[in-house]
Amino acid sequence: MFLTSDQNRLPTGQAFHPSVAMWAVAEMWGGGDVLILQFAATRRGLARVAMVEFSSAAAATLMQLESDGQIVRGAAVLSARSQKNSAQWKLEPLREIHLGATEAFDDQHPLVSFVRFTTAAGKQLSLPMGVADKHSRGRRIYPTNPARSPGTGRRKPATGAATTT
């Protein structure tokens, strides 16, 4: 697997024509799980896709997207173990991502903040982000609930409805 993006674009040397672009390819050698994110600056903006190893790098990527004001529009975890062939890989769509939820294991250890993922099947996965000062449920960054339009509220039942006996 590899990633290419404008951040990985390398400056071309004098041996190449200026219109030739060289790209750095970041290979993922670990063969572990991969977090796939679809994100955009706005709801209607052009979506981009990022693939990061499902580790603390994924937590850092999500914190960076949140601080940059990006909206996560789609997410999944790809289990692509190097010991398995591609027919055995598994793609699990995510239902929710909470950023900054805390948990304490016991009184002797400090609070730890996590990125908590919930798959479409209901399985929960967590990645540590750091030590926390106080308890928090975290912020749900995916899915974000769309704002209701004025005409989509609940209807009140009619008060003068006829009843049948």
For the chain, which residues make up each domain, given as ranges? 29-143
User: ∠ CA(115), CA(120), CA(122), 5° rounding?
Assistant: 70
Span 63-112, pLDDT tens digits: 999 999 999 999 999 987 766 787 888 899 999 999 998 888 777 878 89
Q: Are 50 and 122 in contact (CB under 8 A)?
A: no
Q: Are 40 and 70 in contact (CB under 8 A)?
A: yes
CA distances to 10, 19, 69 from 14, in Å: 13, 12, 38
CA atoms of 27 and 151, how far apart (whole Å): 49
Check pLDDT > 90 for residue 141: yes
Span 32-52, pLDDT tens digits: 788 999 999 888 888 889 888
Sequence-separated (6 or more) residues with CB below 8 Å from residue 148? none
Q: Is the model's pTM score more than 0.85?
A: no
